[in-house]
């Protein structure tokens, strides 16, 4: 059960996030304003946070190591939120690219 959410994320969202981060954008998203690479990088950050937080718990490492990995996952999620904010700022108030 510990692997259900990270596994589903790895199968469903991580390939799409990696494709966006590498610059491949599906046709239906090409007209979307804003830098989509930033959203792809944020998706990868969330996936990395899930892995960093769930793997130590699944292999039953020490409490100190689990806590350290949880703090690292919190930092990765913070970076992903920052990327989403950057996307929103870059997109501008009217929904078009600000630059």
Question: What is the pLDDT, as a whole number, of residue 98?
Answer: 52
| Domain assignment present for 98 | no
| Domain assignment present for 74 | yes
Q: What is the DSSP letter of 35?
A: -
Tens digit of each residue's pLDDT (9 = 90 or more) over 49-67: 988 888 888 888 999 999 9
Domain that holds residue 44: 1-7+38-93
pTM: 0.75
| Domain assignment present for 55 | yes
| Domain assignment present for 87 | yes
Q: How many structural domains comprise the chain?
A: 1
Question: What is the pLDDT confidence band of residue 38, given thresholds at 50, 70 and 90?
Answer: confident
Burial class (CB in 10 A: 0-12, 13-18, 19+), 20: buried
């Amino acid at each position: 059960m510990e692997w259900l959410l990270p596994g589903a994320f790895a199968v469903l969202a991580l390939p799409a996030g990696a494709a966006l981060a590498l610059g491949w954008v599906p046709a239906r998203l090409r007209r979307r304003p804003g830098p989509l690479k930033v959203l792809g990088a944020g998706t990868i950050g969330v996936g990395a946070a899930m892995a960093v937080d769930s793997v130590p718990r699944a292999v039953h490492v020490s409490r100190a190591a689990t806590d350290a990995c949880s703090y690292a996952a919190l930092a990765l999620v913070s970076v992903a939120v920052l990327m989403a904010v950057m996307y929103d700022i870059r997109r501008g108030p009217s929904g078009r690219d600000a630059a």
